[in-house]
Structure formats: structure tokens, C-alpha cells
Amino acid sequence: MNNHHQTIIIGAGAAGLFCASLIGKCGQNVMILDSGKKIGRKILMSGGGFCNFTNLDVRPSHYLSQNPHFVKSALTRFTQWDFIALVVERGIAYHEKNDGQLFCDNSAQDIVDLLEDRCKKAKVNIQLRQQIDSVEPIENDPNVRFNVRANGIDWTCQNLVIATGGLSMPALGASPFGYKIAEQFAIPVIPPRASLVPFTYLENDKIFTALSGISLDVNVSVGNQAFRGDMLFTHRGLSGPAILQISNYWQPNASIKIDLLPNQSIVDFIMELKATSPNMLLKTALSQLLPKRLIDLWIEYQRLAIGNKALAQLSKVDFNVLSELIHQWQFQPNGTEGYRTAEVTLGGVDTQFISSKTMQANHVQGLYFIGEVLDVTGWLGGYNFQWAWSSAYACACAIAESEI
């Protein structure tokens, strides 16, 4: 067995597989090491099993990082249109959902098969069920820079690519391995935390568990950042696309503001109804716009004490209370559901110490970081997969020393 490869990639996820296929296509000797039983496990779980593989509108502003300019070069060099072209060439049927999100028609397996076939054609050596014991630098040899011990076997390489992802979804093999490698080589790590993740209830808000399963179109905001979309009441807290999006920007102990009727002024609606139906009860009027279960719960727990008033009885103060409750609900999460359900990890390898053009560590020749392990977090909607493709491409071009 040849224990030397020009490039070893640790991680058989989206970024690692794509990077390997590109480097191998250029004739280089590439091996992937992964701890799992099969490749692309997170891809298969993504998008409800249909993989939201990119978005029609990808901009740097869709990403969070301590170094916000870092993503620009890679996203420009390999765009969403470049990956869509590969999907079309492969004959994968796909469709657009909300806000430019692209999903496979059939299954996320289509994307895994695309990547696997590209790796096979490029003669990439994929080794699964590999427990990495250690990574050590080799001095004074430009052709053999690293020794990787896996399952008790030593492998050497010139280039080492860390594509191990973040801490989200530990059941799929997520681990802090990539962060430990960065720290081993004196590269700082921005403290990671779960993101694109549901919120949990404080004790006082656990009354809302009775609304589990109800979904509303809302506008949620934290500071100057706002998102419009569905919000879902669950047994544990609030979820849904709008909540996942705002979780990227939420800080512990902060509140989020929720507008339950972003398309309509509740005051204008009630005033108009009052002119024609002055004796209608407020709770009856509200049930035309919001779920009756929500209104009944507000009344039961004294959060809408005026619910049994007739519209004609409502005062200016009542209208202010009503407007604040519906358009400016201040919801303070107890926390999040954590990495177990988080789609991504916020934070990661500090990009100030990584080249934005090559993904190589600035002070460690031949060591590269790609994908989610870096301090780059995209919005919900295919942006994190696009970062995987784009960062993998930048890395592969650097290792192949040409545009691929």
C-alpha cells in the first residue's frame, strides 16, 4: 500500500468530496479520510432529505464572519451558477422554493452520487471508519510536510486539507477535531456555538407548548437584522425558517421582536371592523387573522385581558396594548436547542489567519481549511453548501496551481 499522497483531505462531506474530485481531476494523488461509515452523511440529512444545494442569489452579505470580506474571493471564483451547471450536466432534476433556494426533486442522494462519481473518475482514494490518532508536521521536506496517523497506520502528504465541519449534528459524526488541528498549529479559533437553531422557552413561556404545530408568517428581528418567514410553535420553543435565520444574530439573554401580522396593521383592521360591527368581541375579531388557540391562550393567561371587550369599548390604551402584543412581541429565549438540531456552527477557525484566495494557513505551508470548520456561517437557504463548493474550489485551484 502506498502510504504517501500528494494531498490528504480529512472529512468526506460536501467540501471535502468536492475538493478531492477537483484535485484528483488534475492528476494528483488524493486520499480522503473520514470517521463515518459512509460519505456525505450531512448532505443526505439536509433540506428534509432533498438537499438545498445552493441559492440563485448568493452575496457576501449572506454570510457571517469576524472577517466579513473573507468570503468574497472564493464566492466570485466559483459561483452558484458553476455548481448549478454541474447539477444540470449530471441530469439531476431540481426545483426552486422560497427566496431562490434550490432543492433536488428526487433525493439528496443525487448530490452525494454526483460527488462520489466525480471522485471515482478522479481516482480519489476514500478511506472510511478512520479514527485520526494524530497529525504531525514533518520538517525540511517540501514534498512530505505532514504525517497523519489513522487507525494506527501512518500516512504522509504534501498538502493536508481539513474539511471536518463544525459541531452541529453530533449524531452524524461532528467533532471539534478541525478546531484542535488549528490550535495545534497556533491558529486561533473563534468560540463556536450552535446556529440556524430553534429557541427554547423560558419557564413563563411554556404555556405556548399548547400551540405546538401552529405555524405563522411573521417578521422577526434582533437589532437592525430582520427576517420574514414562517415561525413554528413546538413543544420546546420556537422554530421555523424565520427563527432559524435570526438565531445567527441572537446573543444569549437578549430578546427578539416578533411581528405576528407583518402584512397588516392590527389597529387599522380593528378600527374598520369597529365601524361596522361595534358589538363584536375583540377575541372574535382577532380570530379572523390569528389562530383561535393563540387568542384563547392569551386571554386565559392574562396576556390579553381586553379580549372579551366589545370593539366599541376599546380605548386608546387598549389599542396600544394590542399593537404592542401583536406587532412587537418581545420574546426572550431561554436558549437554543444546541448542536443536536443546529444546522450549522457559528464561529470556527479564525479566517484572519487563512488566505481568502487559497484557504491555506498563512504561516503553515500546505495546511488548508475549507467549509464549515472556518469562521464562515451562511444564512439558511443553500448558502452554507455554496460556501462548501466555493471554498473547496479555491483550495483545489491552489493545490493544483491553476484554475480548474
- Which pLDDT belongs to residue 404? 77
d(CA 94, CA 102): 7
Question: How many angstroms separate the Cα of 169 from the Cα of each of 107, 175, 179?
Answer: 20, 9, 16
d(CA 289, CA 382): 32
For residues 294-312, average pLDDT: 93
Closest CA to 369 of 377, 378, 358: 358
Q: Are 128 and 136 in contact (CB under 8 A)?
A: no
Q: Are 168 and 45 in contact (CB under 8 A)?
A: no
- Which pLDDT belongs to residue 172? 80
For residues 231-259, average pLDDT: 97
Q: Are 382 and 102 in contact (CB under 8 A)?
A: yes
Q: Is the dihedral of CA 76, 81, 84, 89 positive or negative?
A: negative
Tell me the pLDDT tens digit for each residue of 156-171.
999 999 999 999 988 8
d(CA 403, CA 393): 9
Q: Are 9 and 367 in contact (CB under 8 A)?
A: no
Domain boundaries of the chain, sorted by first residue: 4-193+345-400, 198-337
- Which pLDDT belongs to residue 23? 98
Class of domain 198-337: mainly beta
- Which pLDDT belongs to residue 228? 97
- Which pLDDT belongs to residue 169? 85
- Which pLDDT belongs to residue 193? 95
Q: What angle do CA 150, 163, 120 make, to 5 degrees?
A: 80
Q: Which residues contact 274 (CB under 8 A, 6 or more apart)?
A: 311, 312, 314
Residue 84 pLDDT exceeds 70: yes
- Which pLDDT belongs to residue 295? 96
Residue 361 pLDDT exceeds 80: yes
For residues 92-112, average pLDDT: 97
- Which pLDDT belongs to residue 203? 96
- What fold is seen in the domain 4-193+345-400? FAD/NAD(P)-binding domain (3.50.50)
Q: Are 198 and 234 in contact (CB under 8 A)?
A: yes
Tell me the pLDDT tens digit for each residue of 18-74.
999 999 999 999 999 999 999 999 999 999 999 999 999 999 999 999 999 999 999
One DSSP character per residue, 237-253 reads EEESHHHHHHHTT--TT
For residues 368-384, average pLDDT: 98
Task: Name beta bridge partners: 31.
Answer: 8, 125
pLDDT band at 219 (very low <50, low <70, confident <90, very high): very high
Residue 350 pLDDT exceeds 90: yes
- Which pLDDT belongs to residue 60? 98
Question: How many angstroms separate the Cα of 332 from the Cα of each of 218, 237, 259, 366?
Answer: 16, 11, 14, 45
Backbone angles phi, psi at 253, to 5 degrees: 75, 0
Residue 1 pLDDT exceeds 60: no
Residue 269 one-letter amino acid: F
pLDDT band at 141 (very low <50, low <70, confident <90, very high): confident
For residues 129-149, average pLDDT: 93
Average pLDDT of the chain to the nearest whole number? 96
Residue 223 pLDDT exceeds 90: yes
d(CA 374, CA 163): 9
Q: Are 175 and 164 in contact (CB under 8 A)?
A: yes
Q: Select the more confidently predicted residue: 1 or 269.
A: 269
